[in-house]
Every structure is written in structure tokens, then in C-alpha cells.
């Protein structure tokens, strides 16, 4: 059964606490081994899995992490994918975090994110596609493997929110012809310095008041888009629930 809003919030709070623990134990190892981001992957994958119907599971429709998907130019390890055994990808989600060098690398990653959408949407235009991105509220210096230190930063979250909003609202009437924009985008700003990490959706909402970019509504929005796009399919995803 799909998570309720309160269950999703509880699961995400637990996820952030695990991410904080993993990162603080050894920041360099957490990033290098991907243990940090894989915790975020699992939260998204578990949310999607909760929406699968019993009929979908009987059909061997699976939620796969790090699924190797053939794009239009090369294969891509998609972070979270829903795969039908005969019809292929149904839902594709990218997941990323940056805990250092945010200002230095964000534009390069932005270009990569757009390119990934184009490659996948050219090959699978009917897929519901989404991207979940996480930044810390403040970047605190930590020591790299080579002994050097990262720089302290105060990322421009408002600017980044507007950038991601520009590629986070694919027009559902023209989606077969619109490439490079995701059906839904989640941009999370998290204070990892708090004893219990805090999600600051208000920062994103203030920058982009007309678009929902919360991770807490991300998977339900994708499920709604898939169901609306495929009205003749009624046995794969259960509708999101409130409460």
C-alpha cells in the first residue's frame, strides 16, 4: 500500500539521519563509496515500491536500483527504475547529492542532467521521468582522501531552485516532443548540522512558488503522471493516499 504523507515524512527523516551518520563517520569514504547517496536512492526506491499493486508484482514488474538502461547514445545506470519484463522501462528516476564544491560543479552537473533526460526520452518518450537532487544548507569543510580540505560554502539555493524548475515541468500535452525536461523534479535543501537533519522546503518554495519541488510529494507526483498518461493501464501503480 502506498505510503501516507506522514509515513513518507517519517521515512525521510530516518533517511536523513542515516545519511548524516554515514557522512560524519568519514566524509571522504561516504562520498567515494556512494554509501551516502545510496541511502537516498533507497528512500526513493522504497517509496516507488510502496505504490506497486499486487497485480504488478505478479507480472514481475520490478523496482530496480542502478538499472542499466539503453539511451539514445549509450547505456546509462539509472538510479531508480520501474521495469516491465516485456515492455521495458515505465518510470525512470535520477538521484544526486553534492556535499562539497557545489558552486564549482553545479553547472556541469546541470548540463549532464539535461543530457541524460534527452537520451532517455528519445528512446522511451512515454516513460515518466524524474530527478531528485539534494544540497546541504551549508557546506562544512572536510578532509579529502588526499589530505586536502574542501571549502566552506553557502550555496545559492534560490538560484539553483529556479534552474531546476526550468527542467522540472515537462508539458504532459506535448511530452512526446519535449526532450530535456523532466516530468517532475525534487530539490531538497537539508541542514545536516542540526542534531536531527532538517528539510528546508520553504527556501525552494520561496524561490519557485508556483511549482511543487518537494521530495515529500515527488513519487506521488510521478505516479499521478504515469497513471494520467496511461489511462488504459490500471494495474501497475496504486494512487497516492493522503494523511
Residues 171-229 pLDDT 10s = 888 888 899 999 999 999 999 999 999 999 999 999 999 999 999 999 999 999 999 99
**Residues 33-58: what's their mean pLDDT?**
96
Alpha carbon distance 80, 103 (integer Å): 26
Pairing state between β 128-136 and 62-70 = unpaired
Phi, psi of 83 (to 5 degrees): -120, 125
Residues 6+ apart with CB under 8 A from 121: 127, 129, 178, 179, 180
CB of 63 within 8 A of CB of 45?
A: yes
Per-position DSSP letters for the chain, written without gaps between them: -PPPHHHHHHHHHHHHHHHHHHHHH-HHHHHHH-HHHHHHHHHHHHHHHHHB-HHHHHTT-EEEEEEEEE-SSSEEEEEEEEEETTTEEEEEEEEEE-SS-HHHHHHHHHHHHHHHHHHHHHH-TTSEEEEEEEEESSBPP-B-TTS-BPPPB---HHHHHHHHHTTS---TTSGGG--S--SEEEEEEEETTSSS-EE-HHHHHHH-TTS---TTTHHHHHHHHHHHHTTT--SSBPPP---
Please say whether the beta carbons of 145 and 100 come within 8 A. no
* Chain segment 116-162, per-residue pLDDT in tens: 999 999 999 999 999 999 999 999 988 888 888 888 999 999 999 99
* Residues 61-112: tens digit of each pLDDT: 999 999 999 999 889 999 999 999 999 999 999 999 999 999 999 999 999 9
Q: What is the DSSP pairing of strand 75-84 with strand 62-70?
A: antiparallel
The pLDDT of residue 172 is 82
- Mean pLDDT of all residues in 30-42: 93
Report the pLDDT value the prediction gives residue 129, as an integer from 0 to 100. Answer: 97
130 strand-pairing partners: 93, 184
Q: What confidence score (pLDDT) does residue 242 get?
A: 77
Amino acid at each position: 500500500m502506498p505510503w501516507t504523507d506522514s509515513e513518507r515524512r517519517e521515512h525521510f527523516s530516518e533517511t536523513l539521519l542515516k545519511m548524516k551518520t554515514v557522512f560524519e563517520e568519514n566524509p571522504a569514504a561516504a562520498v567515494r563509496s556512494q554509501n551516502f547517496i545510496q541511502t537516498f536512492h533507497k528512500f526513493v526506491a522504497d517509496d516507488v515500491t510502496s505504490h506497486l499493486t499486487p497485480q504488478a508484482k505478479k507480472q514481475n514488474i520490478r523496482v530496480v536500483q542502478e538499472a542499466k538502461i539503453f539511451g539514445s547514445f549509450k547505456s546509462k545506470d539509472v538510479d531508480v527504475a520501474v521495469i516491465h519484463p516485456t515492455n521495458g522501462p515505465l518510470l525512470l528516476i535520477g538521484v544526486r547529492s553534492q556535499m562539497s564544491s557545489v558552486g564549482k560543479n553545479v553547472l556541469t552537473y546541470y548540463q549532464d542532467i539535461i543530457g541524460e533526460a534527452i537520451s532517455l526520452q528519445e528512446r522511451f518518450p512515454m516513460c515518466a521521468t524524474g530527478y531528485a537532487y539534494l544540497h546541504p544548507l551549508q557546506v562544512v569543510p572536510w578532509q579529502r582522501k588526499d589530505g586536502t580540505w574542501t571549502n566552506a560554502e553557502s550555496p545559492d539555493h534560490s538560484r539553483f531552485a529556479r534552474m531546476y524548475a526550468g527542467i522540472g515541468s515537462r508539458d504532459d500535452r506535448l511530452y512526446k516532443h519535449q526532450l530535456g525536461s523532466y516530468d517532475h523534479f525534487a530539490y531538497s535543501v537539508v541542514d545536516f548540522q542540526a542534531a536531527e537533519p532538517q528539510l528546508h522546503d520553504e527556501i525552494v518554495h520561496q524561490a519557485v512558488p508556483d511549482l511543487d519541488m518537494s521530495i515529500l510529494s515527488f513519487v506521488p507526483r510521478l505516479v499521478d503522471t504515469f497513471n494520467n498518461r496511461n489511462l488504459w493501464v490500471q494495474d501497475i501503480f496504486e494512487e497516492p493516499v493522503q494523511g
